[in-house]
Amino acid sequence: MTNTWKIGDIEIKNRVVVAPMAGISNAAFRVTVKEAGAGLVVCEMISDQGIHFRNKKTLDMLYIDEREYPLSVQIFGGNKDSLVEAAQFVEANTKAAIIDINMGCPVNKVIKAEAGAKWLLDPDKVYEMVDAVSSAVKLPVTVKMRTGWDEAHLFAVENAKAAQAGGAAALAMHGRTRVQMYEGHANWEILRQVKENIDIPFMGNGDVRTPEDAKKMLEEVGCDAVMIGRAALGNPWMIKRTVHYLETGELLPEPTPREKIDIAKIHFDRLIDLKGEKVASREFRQHAAYYLKGIPRAAKVKAAINQTEDKATMIQLLDDFLKKTEENPVVR
């Protein structure tokens, strides 16, 4: 298997894709995982209504850093006309290489808008929406979905074939149902069945927590790429280690506390550039907790970071914690 593959005419340099995560996958995060080696990054989902009404917060989410290319922008919505309008707006006004339609978001707010995972109950609706969007834009259109609504409505193969028939250039599927949310286990067997029934590139998603998991998914599911989500939070090394492992079979060591905190500070600076110090300081609290995960004795600094409102305090807390950690390492 060669490392490069294509979505439409867009070449992806390796088999590791970073999933879109709401509230996480802004340009600061995406550039950080891209620099760690991700072949493709996907922007957090953008509301078609937000684009229609030119909502400032929505339009700000469409900022793309040139270092991210090729980038996929994910849109969602329940109305065919507004979804088409959103796709055309993204094509005309951003540097997106790919447009992705969300059919997998399990949260109630999105479901109530007749969007996200709601479509998983109706393959005809999947076809209709994908066909409308792919016919209206020149960029390749992809779809991200779940295996089904619940165990009684697993239309994974039917929905995947409907997306392909509608003109999807590639498909990503999370191996959980909507009802599962993020609980339980991802069903890789259903993902394997989907791959066997479609001809377009397929990205498997769900329960890829280590480089070894990524290799296992590629082998067991037969997918063209693995899509990694939560395992990359505060952990761009997961991407770097996975890319390296898939290419060489060698497992790179886990990052040191210093490496973690150095990258955390770079990520924080990017978030400040994107959103300003006050908003970035608040948003970075959750990222900092992920970066500190696995470093012993981090509970106190995490609690302090959760009260932080400015850059100087955030950096001071991280630096002081690192100094203490390096002066008194925990021997395992």
pLDDT of the residue at 182? 84
* Residue 193 annotated as lining a ligand binding site: no
CA pair distance 112, 240, nearest whole angstrom? 37
Dmax over Cα atoms in the chain, in whole Å? 62
pLDDT of the residue at 260? 98
Give whole-number Cα distances, 255 to 40, 74, 167, 318, 320, in Å: 22, 31, 42, 16, 19
* Residue 74 annotated as lining a ligand binding site: yes
SS3 312: helix
Q: Is 311 left (phi over 0), alpha (psi -120 to 50) or beta?
A: alpha
Tokens encoding 133: 């969007």
For the whole model, what pTM was predicted? 0.95
* Residue 22 annotated as lining a ligand binding site: yes
Residues recognised as catalytic: 105
* Residue 211 annotated as lining a ligand binding site: no
* Residue 287 annotated as lining a ligand binding site: no
pLDDT of the residue at 56? 94
Which residues lie across from 17 on neighbouring strands? Answer: 40, 227
In DSSP notation, 209-247 reads -SHHHHHHHHHHH--SEEEE-GGGTT-HHHHHHHHHHHH
Radius of gyration (Cα) for the chain, nearest Å?
Answer: 20
Distance of CA 230 to the CA centre of its chain: 8
pLDDT of the residue at 328? 86
pLDDT of the residue at 332? 59
pLDDT along the chain (332 residues), means of 10: 91 97 94 98 94 94 94 92 96 97 77 72 94 98 94 94 98 94 93 98 98 98 98 98 98 97 98 97 97 96 97 98 91 62
pLDDT of the residue at 62? 94
Q: Which residue ranges form the domains of the chain, and what is each CATH number?
A: 5-248 (3.20.20.70), 257-327 (1.10.1200)
* Residue 6 annotated as lining a ligand binding site: no
